[in-house]
Amino acid sequence: MGQVDPRHIVAAASDGGYAVGAFNMHNPETTEALVRAAEQAESPVFLQVGRAIVPHLGIHAAYEMTRRIAEESEAEYVIHLDHGPWDEVFEAIKLGFTSIMYDGAHLPFEENIRTTRKVVEVAHEFGIPVEAELGKIPDADEKVDWASYYTDVAEAERFVAETGVDFLAISVGIVHGVPLADPQPLDIARIKEIKAATGIPLVLHGASGLPEHEVREAMAAGVHKFNADTDLRHAFRAGMEDVWRQGDRQLEEAMAEGRDRMVAATVEKMRLYGCAGRARRTVLA
């Protein structure tokens, strides 16, 4: 297969009422797990170079590892920079990423608009779509005032109009990680309002641990890309730990079991999101 235009696969998800999965890799085995899952499920996939692997390998090595493993597969994929800061975004464009998330959500609103607009101008010159974030997403079980964390509908409308972003990640009750306590219910009504105000596909980060009914309700409301990592890492870890419990074993054997468990967990996500069986076999030149 090969790389596909992220705009095409998200537009297809929007038209079809489903979502595409976006998942982080951490080493060769987890990267292999994601592409093998995409092959098995016949699903497009966003391979996300995220905030854990970049400090570990560096963005150049992380991109080359992902590209090499993906190119050797039959998967239909996008190589996506997740939560990229200002300088890293432009390095990713030079390296060949086909999708960019610029994260200016921590900046004052006006500065977020200004910097995001510049990223969009540059990325679009290279035919690369841009995802941005508005609102704040806490870590799991962090005590927060949710009213101050949610994405504001009026701000979202202005932000999209003035920046020209292709996809918008929003805060509607999601967290990074899997909560141990009772999770905050998703604000489905707010998703619908943001979708109506912006008219572009919405993204939910921190999708690990979401109840299935909320995933389906979010897709119906306008979310067409889910980012999930924690559930898949836990599957990989469980496989490794099961091997270690058998006594002294080779590291490669433990990682192979972890990879197999992560493949199964990823396929399960793809089926839940509705993107399984949606590979269109239309690749970028």
Strand partners of residue 101: 131
Strand partners of residue 44: 76
**Residue 205 annotated as part of some ligand binding site:** yes
What CA–CA distance (Å, rounded) separates 215 from 76? Answer: 23
**Residues 133 and 145 sit within 8 Å (Cβ to Cβ):** no
User: What number of helices (H) and strands (E) belong to the chain?
Assistant: 12, 9
What CA–CA distance (Å, rounded) separates 60 from 84? Answer: 13
**Residue 112 annotated as part of some ligand binding site:** no
Question: What pLDDT is recorded for position 285?
Answer: 47
* pTM, entire model: 0.93
Higher pLDDT, 21 or 175: 21
Band (pLDDT 50/70/90 cuts) for residue 71 is: very high
Catalytic one of 5, 15, 82, 242: 82
For 76-88, write each residue's pLDDT tens digit.
999 999 999 999 9
Mean pLDDT of 2-10: 95
Look up 82 and say whether it is catalytic: yes
Per CATH, is 2-273 categorized as 3.20.20.70?
yes
| Summary mean pLDDT of the chain | 93
**Cα–chain center distance at 86:** 18
**Residue 227 annotated as part of some ligand binding site:** yes
**Residue 60 annotated as part of some ligand binding site:** no
Assess whether pLDDT exceeds 80 at residue 128.
Answer: yes
* Domain spans, the chain: 2-273
